[in-house]
Structure 1
Amino acid sequence: MRVGCFAEFGDASVMRIEHRPDPGRPRGAELLVAVEASSINGTDLGLRRGDLPPATWGRMPFVPGFDLAGRVLAVGPAATAFSPGDRVAALLPHRGGGLAEQVLVGQDRAARIPEDVGAPEAAAVTLAGLTALQALHRQGRLRARTGPGGRPARVLVCGAAGGIGSLAVQLAALAGAEVVGTTSRDKLDWVRDLGVPRVLDRRADDLDRQLRDAGPFELVLDAAGRSRHRDLAPSLAPGGIVVSVRPLHPDVLRSLRPGRADFTAVRTAARSADLAHLLQLVATGRLRVPVEHVVRLGEVARAHQLAEAGGRGKVVVDLTA
C-alpha cells in the first residue's frame, strides 16, 4: 500500500510517498479500514517541522495523519459495533498513520458516517471537530455558563478561520452562545458567512478596545494556540475561563499552574459518541465543514504547503486517487 511520510524534519518538501506492506488482519476489537480521506492538521505540520517532543511520535520514516474516513474491510473477532462495508471516520492515536491506504484502528475510536456525508467532510471534521467540541463543552463547560441576568454566555474564538476555529464558532452558536471571532482582515467576511455576526481583525490597532466593547466573555477559546493568557485574561467575565487548543505551547504551560481556575488546555479524546454527534450535525446541515482543498496522496507535499499557508478551512488528502 502507499503511505505519505517523512524521514527527516523540514519544510513540506520532505514529505514523500513510500510503499509498505498492508497492515494485516485486525485483532481483538480492531477494524481494518480502506482509507478514502485524511485531513492535514496543525499537529501534522508541527511533527514534520520537528516542533513537538519526540515522545509524541514514532520511528522514522513517520506516517502522519490523525483522522481518517473510509470503509471497513474486515473486523477483529471482538469487534461488535461495525461490519465490513460500513463507512467510518476515526481518530487515530499519537502514533498517527492516517496517510495510508489501509489502517488498523480500534472500534472505540470510530463512528459510522451518515449516508449524506462525504469522505472529505468526515475526515476534516474528526480531529478539528472533536477538539472544538471538547474544548467548548468539556474543558469550557459552555452549557453551564450564562451571563448576568441569565443572558446567553458570550464566547470569543481566537483564530476563527482555522480548522478548529471555523467549527468552534458554529458549535458555540448551536449551543446558544453569543459568538465573537477574531481572524485576519482578509477572512472577516468568510467567517461572518459561517454565521458569526461579529468578527474582529486580530491585527487591528484598537483590538483591545473592540474586545472590551464586545465582552466580557464567559469563555475564550484560543483555537490557534498562539495567544498568551495575559493578553486574553482582561476579556474574561468574572468566573470565565480561557481554553487553549495547544497544551504544549510554552505560554500555555506557564499558565497551567496548579489551582488556576481561569485557564486550561484541551487534550482531544477519541470519543465515538462525540464523533457520531458531529457527523450527525454535518448530515443534517447544522454544521458546515469548510474544506478548501482536496489533494491526491501523490501530491502530499503540496497538501502540507497549502495547510501551512493558512487558508480558509481544511486541506484534505484523497487516498483513492
Structure 2
Amino acid sequence: MRAARLHRFGGPDVLQIDEVAWPRPKGDEVLIHVTASSINGTDLNLRRGGLGPVAAGLLPFTVGFDVAGVVVDCGPRVTAFRPGDRVMSLLGHRGGGAADYVTVRQGRVGSAPHSIDLEMAASVPLSGLTALQALRHAGRLQPGRPCRVLVYGAAGGIGAFAVQLARILGAHVTATARPSKLTFLRDLGAHAVMDSADVTWDGAHEPWDIILDTPPTLSFQQVQPALSAHGVLISTRGVPGRARDAAALLNRRRPHFATVRTAERGIDLGLLTRLIDAGELHPPLDRIFALEDISRAHQYAEGDDVRGKVVVSAAR
C-alpha cells in the first residue's frame, strides 16, 4: 500500500510516497481503508523538525493524524464497529493517516457524519476536537451562560471550527485574521471580525471571557488587560512558554491561563457528528489534494491563503 513518509526533516519536498506492508488489526483495532486525511499544524511542525532530536527516532514516519474512511476488517475484541462502517478517527502521536490503510483502536474511532462525504469528514477530528475541548473543557463555555469569546487566528482549521462552536454554544464571537479573510470569518458566523494586526490588549474593548489563541503566539501578560475578571487565555501550545503563563496555569482558584491537549473522546466526536448532521456545524474545507501531491499540499498549507482545512485524498 502507499504511505506518505518522512525519512528526514525539512521542507515539503522531503515527503515521499513509499510502498509499505498492509497493517493488520489486532485486539480491539479496526482496519480502516482511508479515504482522506487532513493536514494539521502537528504535521507541519513534525516535518520541519520542530519536535526536536527525539523525533528522529520515529523515522521513517507516516504523516497524518486524523482520517476518514471505511472499516474493512476488525480485530477479535472489536465490539463497536464492523466492516462497511463509515468512520473518522483521531490517530494520536503515531500518525499514519496519509496512507491507503491504517489500524486504530476502536476507542479512537467515531461514526462519520452521514450528511457529508468522507473527504470533508477527514477535516473534522483533530481540529474539531481541539476547538470543542478548548471551549467546553478549558474555557468552561456552556449554553445559556453569557460569554464573550475572541478567537485569535480564526481562519485556520482550529479557529474556523471554534468560531462556529462558540456561536452554537451561545457566545458572542469576535474573530481575527488577515484582512483578506474577514469575509470568510463573517460567513462562519462571527458576530465581529478584526484584522489581527489591529487587536489591542489595553482594555479599550469590552473584555473577553475567553481568548482562544490558535497560532499560538500570545502571552498571558500581553492579553491580561483585555480579559474579564474571571477570563481565561487558552493556548494550543502544549506547555506554557513563559514563566507568568505557567504561574497563571498553576493558580487553581482563578485559572487565567489554560492549554488544550486534544483527547480522543468518543462523546466529543459524537457531538461534532450530530452538529454536522443537524446542519449547525460546517467543516471548513479549503482544498483537496491527491496523496501523490502531498508535498504540494504541505506547501499550500503553509501559505497565507488557507481558509480552514487542507485535505489529502487517498481515493484512486
TM-score, normalising length from structure 2?
0.94
Matches within 5 A, 1:31-50: 31-50=30-49
Which of 224, 231, 237 is residue 240 of structure 1 equivalent to?
Answer: 231
User: d(CA) in 2 for partners of 1:256 and 1:269?
Assistant: 21
- Which residue matches 1:197? 191
User: d(CA) in 1 for partners of 2:55 and 2:271?
Assistant: 28
Matches within 5 A, 1:157-306: 157-204=151-198, 207-208=199-200, 212-248=203-239, 250-251=241-242, 255-257=245-247, 259-260=250-251, 261-306=255-300
The alignment's C-alpha RMSD in Å is 1.8
The more displaced of 136-145 and 61-70 is 136-145
Amino acid corresponding to residue 215 of structure 1 in structure 2:
E
User: d(CA) in 2 for partners of 1:55 and 1:282?
Assistant: 38
Cα deviation, residue 114, structure 1: 2.8
- Which residue matches 1:149? none
Q: Are the equivalent residues in 2 in contact too, given 1:162–1:313 (CA < 8 A)?
A: yes
Q: Cα distance 1:249–1:57, how it changes in 2: closer, same or farther (>3 A)?
A: farther
User: d(CA) in 2 for partners of 1:128 and 1:67?
Assistant: 9
Q: Are the equivalent residues in 2 in contact too, given 1:47–1:57 (CA < 8 A)?
A: no
SS in 2 for 1:203: helix
Deviation digits for residues 35-68 of structure 1 (CA, Å, limit 9, x no counterpart): 0000000000000001124556852111111100
User: d(CA) in 2 for partners of 1:58 and 1:320?
Assistant: 30
Count, aligned residues: 311
| Runs of 5+ unmatched residues, structure 1 | 147-151
Moved over 4 A (4+): 54-58
Q: Cα distance 1:125–1:107, how it changes in 2: closer, same or farther (>3 A)?
A: same
Amino acid corresponding to residue 230 of structure 1 in structure 2:
Q
SS in 2 for 1:277: helix
Q: Are the equivalent residues in 2 in contact too, given 1:58–1:95 (CA < 8 A)?
A: no
- Which residue matches 1:135? 134
SS in 1 for 2:174: strand
Cα deviation, residue 215, structure 1: 2.5
The more displaced of 294-303 and 213-222 is 213-222
Amino acid corresponding to residue 300 of structure 1 in structure 2:
I
User: d(CA) in 2 for partners of 1:160 and 1:169?
Assistant: 7
User: d(CA) in 2 for partners of 1:54 and 1:67?
Assistant: 24
TM-score, normalising length from structure 1?
0.92
SS in 2 for 1:189: helix
Q: What fraction of aligned residue pairs are identical, expressed as a percent? A: 44
Cα deviation, residue 250, structure 1: 2.8
Matched, 1:87 2:90: no
Q: Are the equivalent residues in 1 in contact too, given 2:211–2:233 (CA < 8 A)?
A: yes
Q: Cα distance 1:159–1:32, how it changes in 2: closer, same or farther (>3 A)?
A: same
Q: Are the equivalent residues in 1 in contact too, given 2:28–2:75 (CA < 8 A)?
A: yes
Q: Cα distance 1:282–1:144, how it changes in 2: closer, same or farther (>3 A)?
A: closer
Amino acid corresponding to residue 211 of structure 2 in structure 1:
V
Q: Are the equivalent residues in 2 in contact too, given 1:225–1:249 (CA < 8 A)?
A: no
Q: Are the equivalent residues in 1 in contact too, given 2:143–2:169 (CA < 8 A)?
A: no
Q: Cα distance 1:250–1:68, how it changes in 2: closer, same or farther (>3 A)?
A: same
Deviation digits for residues 249-295 of structure 1 (CA, Å, limit 9, x no counterpart): 634x7612362310010000001111121122112210111111100
